[in-house]
Structure 1
């Protein structure tokens, strides 16, 4: 190569390097901002759940109060059918999970006897699907026997090393109530044997015991919210008009001893055209409230505000890991409903009868105990409990609800928030004409 040609080659090479550098610089300067990292959970969560290492015929006992006629403790019987969905999901991958169920008969002695019967059957853990004193007694009885126990709907009185709750804390519930009542200055408490929220500044109180019936209580509440006029006194002149309350209540907190009684209060207030928000601190998100309100022809509207952790069906609409986990759970409900051979926990009705109410909380309690049994590779309750104490779970492990951390007795990681009643059918569960039209969503449909 002549000196002239060598010079031309070097110039050409230099030009190529400069052009390449310019292209790289242009791409770097014009590169869009880095997209958010994808969620570590797969784009879809499978319906079938695997549990490698789970001993054969793994057994988890369920304690609940039988019946649907309003007895205390029965409010979550239908919600507890989510446990059936969890067992079916594991069964699809060959991991058999058995769910023997015992009736606590609504008493503390009955609860202790139920736990004893389950322990004698060799269960590896217990889920207490109830509330009230009998739920606390059942948890204590399991703790004394060293059997791991999870309470999805109640708080244990003195949780030990083998007792967990996945219900929101009292402080979390109080915080959600404060949010629901934000900006309300004259709160009226309407009560039928329920607890009065400690953190709520109540301006006025009406209790059923001071009235002949619920209708009379509701009428007085409507007068104090300014939605009805107070009738003239008996000695008022003929033709005298009613009197509207000065400084009427701007919100009503409705509390009752059971969800059924709560529904009766709510329906009575609605029938008197009470227009202010009705805040329901306890029991409103149970299936018992929904079915009772429907039977009474009450209305599911954004006027009704409950308090709950993010465990409702609406979570499936989220574009994140928990949304996909909830979607998989709801798919499991649809599959179980389509199989008439799948029965409920008490084996006296097809699962499909309660598919509308089966919830994520009971489902996730079963998932947690199965995961602990698989890690321990044992049915022995003490080993399952020891394993569970080391674990935390999320949608990647099959949960439908919020993350759970079992390194602490209060396993729920999420806070309770206000939720709003809606009659909208989300279309996520099997169609059921007999099911009540009430779902709880994180924001009112018409704010």
Structure 2
């Protein structure tokens, strides 16, 4: 090949290479990109919360049932301290909602009087943190006075347009109980009052009223689960041996009228080494249950199962929006607990004494009312209630728990799920040697 021919060949090859590179670059630069889904919440949720437009004199009433000895309705009075955390978060963000608490004294008349006292103080809405008849009486009085009311721990039977609950629905709780009992065919009910859904299939029942002592009830339950032997009858022939029941129960549903009475049954069953799962109602997730279990030397170890919407402390370990919302809440709990000047709702002890129990439900109720006040630009209860009916909230709005939609009376969107007791300290709350070691997690601990 001549020099001229070689030169022409090289030029042609170079041009071809340039064309190929150009094509590759064009395809690369114009290739459609897969759009990444935006995270609905920032990588970190701030501890301080802002509420632009909130009136300076905005105040919220909190109705409590005080008492630590099993008074009906008092099981959530420590959990309700989450309201303090929310108010402090807004204060750090430049808004200053005021909380005013009233004791309902555990009666319907006391609850009505408490709400009337709060209305006279000029609150823009109320949070009813008790349960039972007095909680419903408080909600009814709030309706009569035109006050928006949020009930975190009870489901009203006939809520007014300005009354909301953030408690899981009865149907959701029922479904979760059935899920917890999946695969269990011989269920024993051990009860001391309280109620369970009729759809929960029970094979046999032991009632405390039929025994002289709770220990005798627990012994019989342990026999029914095959964990203890049935002693020979008094009139049996000499040398007759104890026997094990033929078809033992494979789960025990435990029901009681209050968390404290529930604890008595659970501790008694544990003392008889009952090894099958103990399925407990919602009352087991209250601070009153945890505190009483520790007092009676019961344990969170073993197979204690309850039901709750996903939103406990363990949620903070999730790498999603709700996890960051809960993490911010727990950071605020630690921050508020470190200030001895910040008192509890009844102003008779430092907040730090109840920091272990302050929960997301009471916190989120305050967040909702403050956001409604800011949206309305007013502290007028009628305007706050009207604004709240149009709003829904999630972690990006400062919630610690599941999303809430106040366009409906039952604002909680999340379903109830089985949760499992664990004695593990997650290290997410302020250290407190006096606090009970009990946390509820959405999956059982590995054996």
**The TM-score by the shorter chain falls in which range?**
over 0.9
Alignment of 1:11-410 (within 5 A): 15-25=17-27, 34=34, 37-410=37-410
CA contact (8 A) 2:81 2:345 kept: yes
Deviations 1:210-236 (A, max 9, x none): 000111111111111111111111112
Question: How big is the shift at 1:7?
Answer: 12
Instruction: Supply the distance in 1 between the matched residues of 2:139 and 2:9 (Cα, whole angstroms).
Output: 89
* Local SS of the residue matching 1:305: strand
Once the two structures are superposed, residues 147-190 of structure 1 have per-residue CA deviations (whole angstroms, 9 ceiling, x without a partner) of: 00000010012111100000000000000001100000010000
SS in 1 for 2:75: coil
Structure 1 stretches (4+) deviating beyond 6 angstroms? 5-11, 26-29
Displacement after TM superposition at 1:283 (Å) = 0.2
Give secondary structure in 2 for the equivalent of 1:139: helix
After superposition, give the CA deviation of every residue in 1:346-388 in whole Å (9 maximum; x if it has no partner).
0000000000000000000000000000000000000000000
Q: Does 1:433 align with 2:433?
A: yes
CA contact 1:302–1:420 (8 Å) conserved in 2: no
Distance 1:141 1:247 in 2: 52
Name the residue aligned to 1:417: 417
User: Does structure 1 retain, via aligned residues, the 8 Å contact 2:275–2:302?
Assistant: no
CA distance in 2, matches of 1:88, 1:307: 30
Moved more, 140-149 or 431-440: 140-149
Q: CA deviation at 1:38?
A: 3.9
Offset from partner CA, 1:79-120 (integer Å, 9 cap, x none): 000000000000001201111100111111111111110011
Helix, strand or coil at the partner of 1:75: helix
Secondary structure in 2 matching 1:283: helix
- Equivalent position SS for 1:308: strand
Check conservation: 1:302, 1:444, Cα contact below 8 A. Answer: no
DSSP-derived class of the 1:63 partner: strand
SS at match of 1:284: helix
Structure 1 residue 35 displacement after superposition: 7.8
How far off is 1:16 after superposition? Answer: 2.1
Q: Is the 8 A contact 1:302 1:445 kept in 2?
A: no
For 2:36 and 2:421, the matched residues in 1 are separated by: 33
Distance of 1:301 and 1:316 partners within structure 2: 22
Query: Which sections of structure 2, spanning at least 5 residues, go unmatched?
Result: 1-6
Q: Secondary structure at the match of 1:274?
A: coil
Q: Label 1:366 to 1:107 Cα distance change in 2 as closer, same or farther (>3 A).
A: same
User: The residue matched to 1:60 in structure 2 has which SS?
Assistant: strand
Indicate the larger mover: 57-66 or 76-85. Answer: 57-66
Further displaced range: 194-203 or 177-186 = 194-203
Q: Give TM-score scaled by structure 2 length.
A: 0.95
Q: Classify 1:369/1:16 alpha carbon distance in 2 versus 1 (closer, same or farther; 3 Å).
A: same
CA distance, structure 2, for counterparts of residue 345 and residue 252 of structure 1: 37
2:63 aligns to what SS in structure 1?
A: strand
| CA displacement 1:323-363 (0-9 Å, x = unmatched) | 00000000000000100000000000000000000000000
Q: CA deviation at 1:39?
A: 1.5
Label 1:241 to 1:7 Cα distance change in 2 as closer, same or farther (>3 A).
closer
1: distance between equivalents of 2:302 and 2:375? 44
Shift of 1:15: 3.9
Query: Could you tell me whether the CA contact under 8 Å between 2:60 and 2:99 is conserved in 1?
Result: yes
SS of alignment partner, residue 298 of structure 2: coil
- 1:14 Cα shift? 5.8
> Any stretches of 5+ residues in structure 1 without a counterpart?
none
**Counterpart contact for 2:166–2:411, Cα < 8 Å:** yes
Q: What's the offset of the Cα at 1:446?
A: 2.3
**C-alpha distance in structure 2 between counterparts of 1:242 and 1:222, whole Å:** 14
